[in-house]
Amino acid sequence: MNRKEFDNRGNQNYFRRSNANKRNGDFEPEFDAELESNSGSQMSHPRRSPDNVGGVNASTCQKLADIIGGEVVTSTPVCVVMRLRDIKATILGRRTRSPLALPFMLSFENNGLNLGETVLLQKEVNPMLDALRRRGLIVTAFHNHWLFDEPRLMYMHWENVGMDPFTFARNSIEAAREAGLF
């Protein structure tokens, strides 16, 4: 059984009520079909092909990467784009340039779900939080990933349902620029 709710910014949220007989990870096709048909996304839902999986083809995924000044990580099964932050950081006393440590990353799914994550310095946390929220993006998590890192690296996650991918990418990178990340 499904339930739809709206947050105070008009984003539609979907909740799946648990069925005690189902194991975690079991899919409910009727839920997924409803989510895709009601996502409010302005993105089309073309048939899947090797060059067009998840509703965002490789060419569109590259355009989304260009918006943030990054590159395509993968365009299948969903479009994931990333730009690395230029932070001189160490973990366990070793310099890191790992995308696991220094990402500004976005993903786009054909059901209208858009997700973002970035690494932040402590002084960037409140400006980024404010900038994302001003653009109607829901901040869902803020935490650390590593122990013994220098400077202290923190990670923020945000999401939106229904905003078209190009608007989500522009809003995300504009928030990052406003907060001084780039």
What are the boundaries of each domain within the chain?
Answer: 1-182
125 contact partners, CB below 8 Å, separation of at least 6: 142, 154, 156
pTM: 0.72
pLDDT of residue 5: 53
pLDDT of residue 11: 55
Picking from 89, 153, 145, the residue whose alpha carbon sits closest to that of residue 120 is: 153
pLDDT of residue 139: 98
Residue type, 21: N
Which residue ranges in the chain fall short of pLDDT 50? 1-3, 14-54
pLDDT of residue 6: 52
Picking from 146, 87, 78, the residue whose alpha carbon sits closest to that of residue 113 is: 78
pLDDT of residue 18: 39
